[in-house]
Amino acid sequence: MAQLRCENISVGYEDGIVVSDVSFELNRGDYVCIVGENGAGKSSLLKGILGLAKIQSGKIEYGDGIGRADVGYLPQQKDYQKNFPATVKEVVMSGFLNKMGLRPYYNKAEKEKAMAILQDFGMADYVKASFGSLSGGQKQRVLLARALCATDKLLLLDEPTTGLDPVATEELYELLKRLNREKKTTILMVSHDLNKAVSDAGLILHVNKRSGCGYFGPADKYLDSEAARHFLGLDCKDNKDEAETKSGNEADNGSGRKSPLLDKVEKGERYV
Amino acid sequence: MFDTLKLLFSYDFIVRAMVAGGLVALCCALLGVSLVLKRFSMIGDGLSHVGFGALSVAAVMNVAPLAIAIPVVIVAAFFILKLGKDSKVQSDSAIALVSSVAIAIGVTVTSLSGGLNTDVYSYMFGSILAMSRTDVYISAALSVVVLILFFVFYHKIFAITFDSDFAKATGVKAEFYNMLIAVLTALTIVVGMRIMGTMLISSLIIFPTLSASAVVKGFRKVVIISGIVSVVCFFAGLYSSYSFNLPVGASIVLANFVVFSILMIVGKILRK
């Protein structure tokens, strides 16, 4: 049974629907990358699943021993967190909030677990350091540790390598791969790094601006798909390296060119 | 100095100002930690202007000032938070709009009824005579609520302040706590602004957090130190106001400024 099943979900805000008609399912140990143009609603899709944005239609089901509280989340970092006066310990421990209920303080088992995770991530020496003083890669590891305090079953990540240098980026990807392999942590990650997505993830979910799911399937077959060819702006699959340089322009006229695959999910009146 | 203190305690109005004002200073500091770190500092400023408008209207209509000011300011707090979330109006512009409209209403109503009287002047810049017995009760009740909030929901407050998306994703009702903080801030400001003055009350919210974050790096320490700094500065300001015959609100702000400057320098030295 799938841990998470999304059936034709549409996510939107007050001024309209951002993503529509996305269907996919996650099984234990899956590593799924969500790719798509800028503004295609990849982050909104994650937010919809987490209950931060409104699901306008469709349904989300949890299964395989997973509930709404067993989802770990690594959001995009916010500006004001740069100089926020919080220690690494305070940040990591806040991951346990979902298990606390009305208990006002963390218990000993939780403290030990947090320490073990930090140790594992090579951050044990920074427990008392201020979060703001860490490097970009260290901050992400701390936030990942926080997400793991919430759960090690299912992690949702929103462009976790934004702003990281190449070394830190590589380290973070390695860490995710290791979690996925050793702990069978299911990973659903929004990524702008197409090469890495194809090489690391088992599955790719391609989201199109307003018109839903362009591709959901094995990563190694993704580059042959219609969605990928449109995304990359080419009709041959060899120049995949161009993927990263194309984004802004493509996002604007991307929705104008519709692939035959998407025609069947088109329902004109629902789009603003 | 001992004699001055003894004399100070022999006046009823000073004792009332000390008790109610000291409690207000403590509440402002604690609530301020969340507001300032979330980049919502100006909400205090906006609410105090609304409070001025409401108090002026109450003075003209000859009704109990708090009976009008408290509900109006609470409504304004809801309004500012709601407007801020709507992407069409930025939250800083929303606050500026609400403030200036409130001041305009206050000044217009006052001038229609015969110009600035001493009541309205003291709402602007504060008065040591302002605290009544009712204020003492209200501020005592408020500080009990604020202290309970910080003791029982401390970790939740940390989580929504540091990262409200993550908190919401793990099931914390972030909107409820944000609203609660805004409402408590509104109440604290209405009580405090008559001793501090409309123009100066927001410094009670902002200064303690900034002073504390200059020297310590953990959230818990910032909460504790800002509370202490705020209360100490309040008494220092009140004392010098009485002994040198200075305006009370301004003395308290200047005391906060001096402490802030000292702690900034101390912080710089410590970090070297």
Q: What are phi and psi of A189, to 5 degrees?
A: -130, 130
Amino acid at B36: V
Closest partner residue to A97 among B152, B156, B221, by Cβ? B156
- Minimum Cα–Cα distance from B33: chain A residue: A85
Determine contact: B217 vs chain A, CB below 8 A: yes
Average pLDDT rounded to a whole number, residues A221-248? 60
Stretch (H or E) spanning A13: strand A4-13
Q: pLDDT tens, A65-90?
A: 777 778 889 988 887 888 889 999 99
Residues of B in contact with A94 (CB under 8 A): 155, 158-159, 162-163, 166-167
Question: Which of B42, B158, B164, B166 has the highest number of chain A CBs within 10 A, making it the mutation to test binding with A?
Answer: B166
Amino acid at A63: G
d(CA A164, CA A174): 14
What pLDDT is attached to residue A51? 84
The pLDDT of residue A34 is above 70: yes
Structure tokens at A125: 């020496």
Shortest distance between the Cα of A21 and any Cα of chain B, in A, equals 22
Top-confidence residue, B227 or A232 = B227
Considering the four listed CATH numbers 1.10.357.10, 3.90.1330.10, 1.10.3470.10, 3.30.360.10, the one that applies to the domain covering B2-266 is 1.10.3470.10
Q: pLDDT tens, A58-68?
A: 888 888 777 77
CB A158 within 8 A of CB A190: yes
What pLDDT is attached to residue A45? 86
Shortest distance between the Cα of B96 and any Cα of chain A, in A, equals 21
The pLDDT of residue A251 is above 60: no
Top-confidence residue, A47 or B94 = A47
Average pLDDT rounded to a whole number, residues B163-183? 86
Residues of B in contact with A78 (CB under 8 A): 163
Average pLDDT rounded to a whole number, residues B223-246? 93
User: In this complex, do B169 and A73 lie within 8 Å of one another by their Cβ atoms?
Assistant: yes
The pLDDT of residue A198 is above 60: yes
d(CA A108, CA A124): 17
> Could you tell me the pLDDT band of residue A261, with boundaries at 50, 70 and 90?
very low
d(CA A86, CA A88): 7
Determine contact: B270 vs chain A, CB below 8 A: no
CB B31 within 8 A of CB B178: no
What pLDDT is attached to residue A36? 83
Q: Which of residues 16-55 of B touch A (CB under 8 A)?
A: 37-39
Q: pLDDT tens, A169-185?
A: 888 898 898 888 888 88
User: In this complex, do B169 and A81 lie within 8 Å of one another by their Cβ atoms?
Assistant: no
d(CA B126, CA B196): 4
CB pairs under 8 A between A and B: 89
Residues of B in contact with A82 (CB under 8 A): none
User: In this complex, do A85 and B159 lie within 8 Å of one another by their Cβ atoms?
Assistant: no
> Could you tell me the pLDDT band of residue B234, with boundaries at 50, 70 and 90?
very high
Residues of A in contact with B162 (CB under 8 A): 81, 84, 86, 90-91, 94
Rounded (5°) CA angle B68-B71-B73? 95
CB B208 within 8 A of CB B32: yes
Determine contact: B2 vs chain A, CB below 8 A: no
Average pLDDT rounded to a whole number, residues A34-48? 84
What pLDDT is attached to residue B61? 84
Structure tokens at A139: 């901050």
- Minimum Cα–Cα distance from A74: chain B residue: B166
Shortest distance between the Cα of B195 and any Cα of chain A, in A, equals 30
Mean pLDDT of chain A: 78
CB B124 within 8 A of CB B199: yes
CB B239 within 8 A of CB B8: yes
Closest partner residue to A90 among B151, B158, B212, by Cβ? B158
The pLDDT of residue A7 is above 90: no
Closest partner residue to B159 among A52, A78, A97, by Cβ? A97
Average pLDDT rounded to a whole number, residues A113-117? 90
Structure tokens at A6: 């999304």
CB B205 within 8 A of CB B41: yes
d(CA B208, CA A219): 53
**Pure H helices in chain B:** 2-10, 12-37, 42-61, 65-85, 91-112, 118-125, 133-152, 154-162, 164-169, 174-196, 202-215, 219-244, 248-271
> Where exactly are the structural domains of chain B?
2-266
Of the candidate ranges A4-18, A135-149, B11-25, B185-199, the one whose mean pLDDT is the lowest? A4-18
- Minimum Cα–Cα distance from B223: chain A residue: A85
- Residue B258 in 3-state DSSP? helix
Which of these, A165, A161, A195, lies nearest to A176 by C-alpha position?
A: A161
What pLDDT is attached to residue A164? 85
CB B216 within 8 A of CB A132: no
What pLDDT is attached to residue B73? 92
> Could you tell me the pLDDT band of residue A235, with boundaries at 50, 70 and 90?
low
Amino acid at B152: V
The pLDDT of residue A272 is above 50: no
The percent of residues in chain A predicted with pLDDT above 90, rounded, is: 9
Strands A16-26 and A4-13: antiparallel
Integer CA distances (angstroms), A62 to A44, A52, A53, A214, in order: 19, 17, 18, 23
> Can you say whether residue B127 is alpha, beta or left, with left for phi > 0 and alpha for psi between -120 and 50 degrees?
beta
Average pLDDT rounded to a whole number, residues B30-43? 88
- Residue B113 in 3-state DSSP? coil
d(CA B231, CA B226): 9
What pLDDT is attached to residue B266? 94
Shortest distance between the Cα of B156 and any Cα of chain A, in A, equals 7
